[in-house]
Structure 1
Amino acid sequence: MSPVEPSTAKGAATRARLLDVAARVFAEKGYGAAKFSELISESGLTKGAFYFYFPSKAALARAVIDDQERRWVAEVQQRVLAQATPTQQLADVMPAMLELLAREPGAWSVVRLVRELGADAGLADDVVKPMDAWIALVAGIIRDGQQAREFRADLDADGLATVLVGAFDGIKGLVDSTSPEDREQRLTRYTGILGDMAFAELGILAHPRDL
C-alpha cells in the first residue's frame, strides 16, 4: 500500500507536518530505534488518521528521504546557479549543503535513513533514486564548465559527479556513525579536502574555498 497524496491544502499541510516530525525523530534515533507508535504519538494524530497518510514506517521513511532530498536539491540549485561561473557554482555546492545540515534539525535523518534502509534489499532501490538528482545537478555544472573552458574537456562529467556525490554522502555517513562531538566541524574539514581533490581533478588550481 502506497502513501496517500493529499488532495486538499489542509491535507498537504498535515502531510508536510508529519514529514517534519518524522525527520526530527529519525535524525535523533535512526530508523531501527524509532518506533512507529512513537512517530504517531509525536504527530498528535490518531493511529487511523496517521495510517491514512503513511501505512507503515518504511513508507514514512521513504517519504522523508524523498521530501528532504527534493527540498535540498531545489534550495541548493537555486543558490549555486546564481553564482556567476561554473567554477564558483561547483565551489558553492558543498558549502550550501553544509549550511542546510547545520540549519535543518531533521537534516541528518536522511543520512541515517539512507544508511539503514540501504542495507535492506527490499528498500535499497528506492533509497538510491534521490541521489540521481544530485548527480544530475553536479554533472550539469561540470559540463557547463567544460563548455566555458574552465574545466578539463576530457573529463567524464557524469562519472565525476557520481564519485563526488557518492564521496560526500559517504563522508556524511562516516561522520554520523562516529562521535557526535564536533560533527559539523569534522564534516566541514573532510568535505573541504574532497573539494580540493575535485578541483585538482578538474584542472583548476584555485582553492575552491577561496573562490
Structure 2
Amino acid sequence: MIKTTKGEQSKIRLIECAAELFLQKGYNATGINDILAGTGLPKGSFYFHFASKKDLAINVSAYYENKIGTWIFNTSKGKIWTDFITEIVQKMIEEAENEKHYGCPFAVLGLEIAFSDPDISEYYYKSMKKLIHIFASVLKFSDIPEDKIDILSNRAFAIYEGYLLYYRIGKDVEVLKMMLRDLIDIYENFKEVKA
C-alpha cells in the first residue's frame, strides 16, 4: 500500500468532499466553507492545495474520471454488451434504492458549468468521451461491425445519460430499469436486423 503524507490526505479529503457536495447540491450551490465544514479542515488547507474553487472542480473531474472510468472499464473486461450494461445498471439501481445514486457526475456537473465555466466543462466532456470509448470497445467485443460501432456507442451513451438525468430529476428507480431495458434493446435489435 502506498503511504500518503498528511498534506496529500488533506487534499484527497477536500476533493472527495467536494465531489460529493458538487454532485448532491451542485457546483454553484456549494461554497468553499461547505467543503471545509465537511472535512473539518482550516481555510488555509484549501488554499494550500487549490488556487480556487475552479481549480478544485478540475481535480474533482479527474477524481470522478478515475473512480467511475476505472469501475466501468474493469466491469467491461471480457463481457458482451448485455452482461456489461446489466452489471453497470444493476449497481446503479442498488445505489438508488439505498438513496446513494445522484446520476452521472460528468453530465450533472458538466451541464451546470457548460456556459458559466466552459474551461472546466471541457474536462467533464473529455471524461464523457472516454466512457463512449469504453462503450465502443464492449460493442466491438460483442461482434458489432466496425462501421456501426461509432453510431451505436454514441446512441447508447445518449440513452444512458438521458435516463440518468431523468432519474436525477424524478428520483424514480423505475427510470433506471427502463434505461437497462432500452440499452439492451438497442443491442438486441441491431443483432436481429443483422441476422
Smaller-chain TM-score bracket: 0.7 to 0.9
Amino acid across the alignment from 1:95: Q
> More displaced, 133-142 or 37-46?
37-46
Instruction: Give the structure 1 partner of residue 151 of structure 2.
Output: 159
CA contact (8 A) 1:61 1:113 kept: no
Once the two structures are TM-superposed, the CA of residue 103 in structure 1 deviates from its matched residue by 6.8
TM-score, normalised by the number of residues in structure 2: 0.78
Instruction: Give the structure 2 partner of residue 131 of structure 1.
Output: 128
Once the two structures are TM-superposed, the CA of residue 145 in structure 1 deviates from its matched residue by 1.6
Instruction: Give the structure 2 partner of residue 141 of structure 1.
Output: 138
Q: Percent same amino acid at aligned positions?
A: 21
Seen in structure 2, the aligned counterparts of structure 1 residues 101 and 60 have a Cα distance that, compared at 3 Å, is farther
**Structure 1 gaps, min length 5:** 1-6, 206-211
CA contact (8 A) 1:54 1:60 kept: yes
Seen in structure 2, the aligned counterparts of structure 1 residues 160 and 12 have a Cα distance that, compared at 3 Å, is farther
Q: Aligned partners of 2:96 and 2:70: how far apart in 1?
A: 15
Amino acid across the alignment from 2:122: D
CA offsets per residue over residues 158-187 of structure 1, 9 Å max, x none?
2321221232122212332x34xxx25133
Residue 35 (1) aligns with residue 31 (2): yes
Residue 92 (1) aligns with residue 84 (2): no
CA contact (8 A) 2:24 2:102 kept: no
Instruction: Give the structure 2 partner of residue 3 of structure 1.
Output: none
Please provide the CA RMSD for this pair.
3.0
Once the two structures are TM-superposed, the CA of residue 139 in structure 1 deviates from its matched residue by 0.5
Q: How does 1:1-211 map to 2 (within 5 A)?
A: 8-81=4-77, 83=79, 85=80, 87-99=82-94, 105=100, 108=103, 110=105, 111-120=107-116, 121-146=118-143, 151=144, 153=145, 155-176=147-168, 178-179=169-170, 183-204=171-192
TM-score, normalised by the number of residues in structure 1: 0.73
Seen in structure 2, the aligned counterparts of structure 1 residues 17 and 91 have a Cα distance that, compared at 3 Å, is same
Seen in structure 2, the aligned counterparts of structure 1 residues 204 and 64 have a Cα distance that, compared at 3 Å, is farther
CA contact (8 A) 1:90 1:138 kept: no
Higher relative helix content: 2
**Structure 2 gaps, min length 5:** none
What is the DSSP-based 3-state SS (H/G/I as helix, E as strand, rest coil) of the residue aligned with 2:183? helix
Once the two structures are TM-superposed, the CA of residue 71 in structure 1 deviates from its matched residue by 1.0
Size of the aligned set, in residue pairs, is 189
CA offsets per residue over residues 179-210 of structure 1, 9 Å max, x none?
4xxx25133233124214322343159xxxxx
> More displaced, 119-128 or 49-58?
119-128
